[in-house]
Structure 1
């Protein structure tokens, strides 16, 4: 313990200073978000107009009904109501304050995980330095809160499967995708415990929300109507097709800029099909995986979310927050195979910022600049998804020519027990 304390103060202090400096810069950008290069106020408008409107509806005991913009599970209501608990602040100020607090909590959790024997501080560094690549946008979306639940779920699962399952379920109630972080739990008792507690926690919380608010499932009606967003892979292809005579246009609907015109429905169907294929690949991996390391649950979570992201009809800029958070968890373990994937995610995040908010008009107009930006960003994400899954698959397969389980080393600080590492 004393050796660890002598080694870590320098890096820990550096990370603390980096967090304070970058978050101060993000706040400065938030204050000056009305500048044309920063989106002309479009980034912050989501909070003070849309979130605040939903807050008023939720405060009267009902989830939004017949609102095409409300496409989120009922747990999102609790996040949007939370700013009202801070007295003396406007809704916008309270929302940003809570987001910064959750951001700091996430950084501390990654820092604590990284200071354990056999672990790495790269995860905390990635979160601290990677999030500002998205400028001030993370402070004006509630995806930091969702990502925090996913990060805490993964970090807790190794020692406390029950807590990991509960946190994953809470995240899924807010924005669905955190349910994927439970995909890589080791077979046997850890999986049964985490999944069972997650299921019961999800049902219990949903029942509480249904008792406190009316229309808790109203989001399902609006979610099904979403089309092809211009920032998705399909949207990028259609935007490029405009340069070659495709007559489609961009229209604001369902809370996003979406493509309209011939063949859009076919592209949307293809995206859903690819999502189903991605799910099938993940199930196949789960069935055929034989070796778990301490990093396998982390790597599986990142790979799953990447696959579902690139096949989605919607790849909003805030999706990058999810990927940065999950990549950070992977990098807390020295056994992860996702380091090159993390680099690709950082590059994609920087390009995502160039597209939104800095050159979003170019993306909407489908200019060559906008198309190339989105093609580059989505190309990096696709490469990251493929590389992530390939590395995950290889890391959990037995050595070539040896179908018998490998003899695993004795459990160490960054290793799971042998009965968890080797499965049949």
Structure 2
């Protein structure tokens, strides 16, 4: 025990091994009713493997309503072929753990630099297991790894930052938001330029190798209001007031159908547009930066877009945990209270899915209360995150000139710049 206290990296490694072993055990026993009744692992060995077979034959899953992901997702789903000695499921989980370990190492190394903290690595190591077995059976850890590495490489190479962000955006669009806080001027031109070049080049390669690379756009546009979204929470409570809507499985998620659902979906899109306008206003009006501003801006942007989305699946919390962990690697971050809210929302998400998902689908009072608490925490985190980001960059910190004592007359005091 003393050795662990005296060696933080050893303690983090031990914690990672222990928690990931527990997550693997939960995944191996996911047939238990409280662990998803087999649904968590089924996503990989049935749906992902089906897409893998289609991709291996040279095309994206055309006309498949469940395929709603950019072309880069195909590369992730094909990656288990790198481990031919394992089944698809085992290879996918193994590679997910490799990406998880890469995030942990990157956060640990970032925390060792001057003015940094290992709190970010500890946050990630301890926060991810709150989602139980879900992270190991979704490819959001891989996407989060690209976003985390993009942010952590910004201080050393804007080119690498842009390239990793573009690769992440090709898998799931949201990593492009990590470029929002890149310093203005040359850094922005470099990061966004390399993101454009990397994205266009990778997209061209995928389009050349696979048929139907843009079929996902048609499926994405048809999505409705998922029961776990903020709008879905309002509709769930509406069922107790006599609203005749129903829950139906479509587009790979349980969504509401019935009157006024389209109106709620349009309201979500309007809120997303408003969130974009607020972020653009912040970008234009920000006058002061701290070393943590790019990290804080990334977390704030993804939080705002997540909360206003028509879909807030439990794996979305993986993104927020990763970005909050990056913020916590800097002692200058303004997002510490936000990270606490994200952690609390993550814990509630695990209760909602997979533990009590039946209650959520049935729109019982228990299920409604769970979604109200989870989405309320996320909404509070988004508002607080943006407010603290705005305040931390609105004006430069006040520089206080030290008082000169009578004995030191004639000596010009040193003023910190």
Match of 2:259 among 252, 258, 262: 262
Deviation at 1:12, TM superposition (A): 1.1
Structure 1 residue ranges, 4+ long, deviating more than 4 angstroms after superposition: 6-9
CA distance in 2: counterparts of 1:293 and 1:189, whole angstroms: 17
2:27 aligns to what? Answer: 30
2:163 aligns to what? Answer: 166
CA distance in 2: counterparts of 1:158 and 1:395, whole angstroms: 19
Question: Does residue 61 of structure 2 align to residue 64 of structure 1?
Answer: yes
Output one character per residue of 1:142-180: Cα deviation in whole Å (capped at 9) or x when no partner.
000000000000000111100000000000000000000
Question: Does residue 271 of structure 2 align to residue 274 of structure 1?
Answer: yes
Deviation at 1:399, TM superposition (A): 5.3
Match of 1:104 among 98, 101, 106: 101
Equivalent residues, number = 399
RMSD of the alignment, in Å?
1.5
If the length of structure 1 is used for normalisation, what is the TM-score?
A: 0.92
Task: Kindly name which structure, 1 or 2, has the bigger radius of gyration based on alpha carbons.
Answer: 2
How do 1:128-139 and structure 2 match up within 5 A? Answer: 128-139=125-136
How do 1:216-227 and structure 2 match up within 5 A? Answer: 216-227=213-224
Q: For structure 2, which runs of at least 5 residues remain unmatched after alignment?
A: 401-416
CA distance in 2: counterparts of 1:76 and 1:8, whole angstroms: 40
Question: Does residue 322 of structure 2 align to residue 318 of structure 1?
Answer: no
CA distance in 2: counterparts of 1:242 and 1:136, whole angstroms: 31
2:73 aligns to what? Answer: 76
Match of 1:283 among 280, 286, 296: 280
Partners of 1:26 and 1:132 within 8 A in 2: yes
Output one character per residue of 1:33-75: Cα deviation in whole Å (capped at 9) or x when no partner.
1000101011111000000000000000000100000000000
CA distance in 2: counterparts of 1:8 and 1:56, whole angstroms: 48
CA distance in 2: counterparts of 1:120 and 1:297, whole angstroms: 16
1:149 aligns to what? Answer: 146
If the length of structure 2 is used for normalisation, what is the TM-score?
A: 0.94
Partners of 1:8 and 1:115 within 8 A in 2: no
Deviation at 1:9, TM superposition (A): 5.8
Q: For structure 1, which runs of at least 5 residues remain unmatched after alignment?
A: 1-5, 408-421
SS at match of 1:73: coil
SS at match of 1:244: coil
CA distance in 2: counterparts of 1:93 and 1:204, whole angstroms: 31
Match of 1:184 among 146, 163, 181: 181
CA distance in 1: counterparts of 2:347 and 2:235, whole angstroms: 23
Question: Does residue 33 of structure 2 align to residue 19 of structure 1?
Answer: no
SS at match of 2:249: strand
CA distance in 2: counterparts of 1:349 and 1:271, whole angstroms: 22
1:253 aligns to what? Answer: 250
